[in-house]
Amino acid sequence: MVMRNLAPAQGVCNGTRGVVTRMGRRVLELCLLTGTEAGKTVLIPRVALDTPESEFSFVLQRRQFPIRLAFAMTINKSQGQSVKNVGLDLEHSTFSHGQLYVALSRCTSPSQIRIFTGSDQNVTKNVVYKDVFQR
């Protein structure tokens, strides 16, 4: 999963998922799996990450690829995406208004949703803040 907005016009945005098809010293080749450019191959360069000057008496610079493994993702990160399979760990209920809806609505087929509740009751709470609906 790409962790920076590198080239939005080419579909390389924060949250875009892909498969690394080639790895070089300074660049990765990534086949995009999601977004308007799905199927396209793009190059991902290393990016420089600097510490804020005010935090230390020196500046530390690190160059790394702005990607991370995405076997799993947070509900917030999944927002706006469609996926074939969804597995939800709801041993603890969602903590924010609308998160359960977002999590369940990401899957393209309801039969491909798997939910773990951690109990025999198979029940979770749908957190709703009524203040959201009132003016």
**Domain ranges across the chain:** 8-64, 75-133
Contact (CB, 8 A) for 70 and 1: yes
pLDDT band at 89 (very low <50, low <70, confident <90, very high): confident
Q: Is the pLDDT of residue 85 over 70?
A: yes
The torsion defined by the Cα of 40, 46, 47 and 51, in degrees rounded to 10, comes to: 150
**Distances 17 to 12, 14, 61, 90 between C-alpha atoms, Å:** 9, 9, 26, 24
The alpha-carbon radius of gyration of the chain (Å, integer) is 19
Please tell me the predicted confidence (pLDDT) of residue 77.
82
Please state, in angstroms and rounded to a whole number, the distance separating the CA atoms of residues 80 and 40.
20
pLDDT band at 134 (very low <50, low <70, confident <90, very high): low
Q: Which residues contact 18 (CB under 8 A, 6 or more apart)?
A: 1, 2, 30, 31, 32, 33, 34, 42
Contact (CB, 8 A) for 117 and 96: no
